């Protein structure tokens, strides 16, 4: 029993409740101490059927972020589930193994509710497993750490605060909401007891707008084994890893040589966030973009002997899209429209219309090119497909965000790519199997909610 909540009002928590009616290959793990929805594990090739019952006081949808599903089960705003209604969706799990997630995608006539609803609790992890990945015998169970990074602001009585009115809220919308408390899986960063062995750390940035700069406290490189769309072909070391909203990273960390009693921390390092990022005085957050903080401490308390090592060859399947197959380059300019907000090719979200240059042919391979003409980074996301990043050009000017660029992860498969200020980023996609309406948008949820989102039509 909920009461209507307006943006800006302290809120109660909204939760997904999930029940699984499936064979032993699918599992559900509750997150009882958190507002997050349960972690759903599915096996590739399975057909899933989901009843979604909306007990909220407003419209909602459930979007399966990153999954290759038909347009009518994609949870798009044009197919809202009204309060009290139940919608049943079904799809076959076609994607290769990877870490995905599900979250609200409601956007009514009054504007977007994705930022608010996800913030209030409507988000959860969805893991796809397949034979290829299981064959690699990567760390599982307690040796696989799943981390959902989010930031929230609380009142003195522990109620969630979203946008809190006035000038501050205006700034928060433009920059994206930044909470002043970091939460990992819905709880403050904590210490985990670990053993002298390798761990697989799978991280989702489930924040509305915050960009993380993941690094280890002892300065060791971050070994990345996969991204949004599953495992890389080979592991890759970075000094730190940049993780924008909605992106996922698969990280390998080996504590085999660690001393008993020692602690390794996963941190988010500091970076210069430019004019739009900080806005310290004008925005409401006590923890501005680019602040440094801890995310997790791994305390080595047990000594074990294991022969597990990082496979040199990870994914065998699904190589890159051949760029020579591309039939066209489609260009998108990210800009700011005075008095309105951020726009894509000068256009803002339209609940009913697709422009002529937003129609693609089923079966085609295309290169999409995003040019960022704004002083803010935008994590651009395309529904229903995984793509390969094929080009990134800084044009010399990142206006203060350069402290993130060495950590940008462009290998492998992605559904969300961070386009830095002044940058042009290109990626290749193949529009396979499903026609119909899909969405592309900035995954800074306040940008998305205020209109930096468009439909495109596959036909």
The answer to the question of residue 202 lying near Cu ion (CB under 5 A) is: no
Report the residue from 442, 445, 453, 458 that binds Cu ion according to the rule CB under 5 A. Answer: 442
Looking at 91-99, 257-265, 352-360, 370-378, which segment touches Cu ion (CB under 5 A)? Answer: 370-378
Q: How far is the CB of 212 from ligand C2O (least distance, A)?
A: 17
Size of the site for Cu ion (CB under 5 A): 6
d(CA 281, CA 283): 6
Nearest residue to the partner ligand C2O, using Cβ:
65
Phi, psi of 258 (to 5 degrees): -75, 145
DSSP character string of 29-98:
E--TTSSSPPEEEEETT-EEEEEEE--SSS-B-EEEET----GGGS--TTSPBPTT-EEEEEEE--SPSE
The string over 301-338, giving b where at least 16 C-beta atoms fall within 10 Å of a residue's C-beta and e elsewhere, is eeeeeeeeebbeebbeebeebeeeebeeebebebebee
Our CB check for ligand C2O shows the closer of 236 and 250 to be: 250
Q: Where are the beta strands (DSSP E) in 220-269?
A: 222-227, 230-238, 241-243, 248-254, 263-268
Shortest separation between residue 16's beta carbon and ligand C2O, angstroms: 15
**Residue 103: which of ligand C2O, Cu ion, none does it interact with, CB under 5 to 8 A by kind?**
ligand C2O
Q: Which of ligand C2O, Cu ion, none sits in contact with 246, Cβ below 5 to 8 A by type?
A: ligand C2O
Query: Are the beta carbons of 265 and 297 closer than 8 angstroms?
Result: yes
Of 371 and 378, CB closest to Cu ion: 378
Smallest Cα–Cα separation from 162: which of 228, 202, 104, 117? 117
**Cα-Cα end-to-end distance for the chain:** 42
Residue 153 CA to residue 144 CA, distance in Å, equals: 29
Name which of 163 and 295 has its Cβ closer to Cu ion. 163
| Angstrom distances, CA of residue 432 to CA of 73, 89, 115, 158, 387 | 16, 20, 30, 46, 12
Q: Which does 458 bind (CB under 5 to 8 A by kind): Cu ion, ligand C2O, none?
A: none
The residues that touch ligand C2O, with contacts defined as CB under 6 A, are 63, 65, 103, 105, 246, 381, 383, 439, 441, 443
Minimal distance in Å, beta carbon 116 to Cu ion? 17
Nearest-approach distance from CB 453 to ligand C2O, in angstroms? 7
- Of the two residues 208 and 223, which places its CB atom closer to Cu ion in the complex? 208
Q: Which is nearer to ligand C2O, 172 or 415 (CB)?
A: 415
Q: Please pick, from the candidates 43, 44, 65, 210, the single residue that binds Cu ion as defined by CB under 5 A.
A: 65
One character per residue 376-395, x = contact with Cu ion (rule: CB under 5 A)? --x----x------------
Q: Which residues contact Cu ion by CB under 5 A?
A: 65, 378, 383, 442, 444, 447
């Amino acid at each position: 029993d909920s009461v209507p909540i307006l943006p800006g009002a302290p809120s109660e928590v909204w939760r997904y409740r999930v029940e699984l009616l499936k064979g032993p290959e699918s599992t559900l793990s509750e997150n009882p101490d958190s507002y997050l929805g349960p972690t759903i594990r599915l096996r590739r090739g399975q057909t899933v059927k989901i009843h979604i019952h909306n007990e909220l006081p407003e419209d909602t949808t459930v979007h399966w972020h990153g999954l290759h599903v038909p347009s009518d089960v994609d949870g798009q705003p044009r197919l809202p589930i009204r309060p009290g209604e139940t919608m049943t969706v079904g799809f076959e799990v076609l994607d290769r193994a990877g870490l995905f997630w599900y979250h609200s995608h409601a956007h009514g006539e009054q504007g977007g509710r994705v930022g608010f609803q996800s913030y209030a609790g409507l988000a959860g992890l969805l893991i796809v497993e397949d034979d290829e990945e299981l064959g690699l015998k990567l760390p599982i169970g307690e040796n696989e750490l799943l981390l959902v990074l989010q930031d929230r602001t609380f009142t003195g009585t522990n109620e969630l605060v979203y946008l809190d009115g006035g000038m501050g809220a205006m700034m928060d919308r433009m920059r994206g909401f930044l909470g002043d408390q970091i939460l990992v899986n819905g709880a403050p960063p904590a210490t985990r007891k670990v053993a002298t062995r390798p761990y697989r750390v799978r991280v989702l940035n489930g924040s509305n707008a915050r960009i993380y700069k993941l690094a280890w406290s002892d300065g060791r490189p971050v070994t990345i084994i996969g991204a949004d769309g599953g495992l890389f072909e080979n592991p890759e070391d970075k000094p730190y890893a940049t993780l924008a909203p909605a992106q996922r990273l698969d990280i390998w960390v080996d504590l085999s040589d660690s001393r008993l009693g020692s602690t390794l921390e996963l941190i988010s390092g500091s970076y210069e966030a430019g004019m739009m990022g900080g806005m310290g005085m004008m925005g409401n957050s006590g923890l501005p973009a680019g602040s440094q903080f801890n995310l997790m401490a791994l305390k080595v308390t047990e000594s074990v002997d294991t022969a597990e090592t990082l496979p040199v060859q990870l994914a065998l399947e699904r190589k890159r899209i051949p760029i020579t197959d591309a039939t066209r380059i489609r260009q998108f300019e990210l800009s700011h429209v005075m008095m309105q907000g951020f726009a894509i090719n000068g256009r803002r979200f339209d609940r009913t219309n697709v422009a002529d240059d937003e129609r693609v042919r089923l079966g085609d391979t295309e290169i999409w090119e995003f040019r960022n003409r704004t002083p803010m980074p935008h994590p651009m996301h395309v529904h229903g497909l995984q793509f390969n990043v094929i080009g990134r050009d800084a044009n010399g000017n990142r206006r203060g965000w350069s402290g993130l660029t060495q950590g940008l992860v462009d290998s492998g498969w992605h559904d969300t790519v961070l386009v830095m200020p002044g940058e042009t980023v290109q990626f290749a996609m193949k529009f396979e199997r499903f026609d119909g309406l899909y969405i592309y948008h900035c995954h800074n949820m306040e940008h998305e909610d205020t209109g930096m989102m468009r439909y495109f039509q596959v036909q």
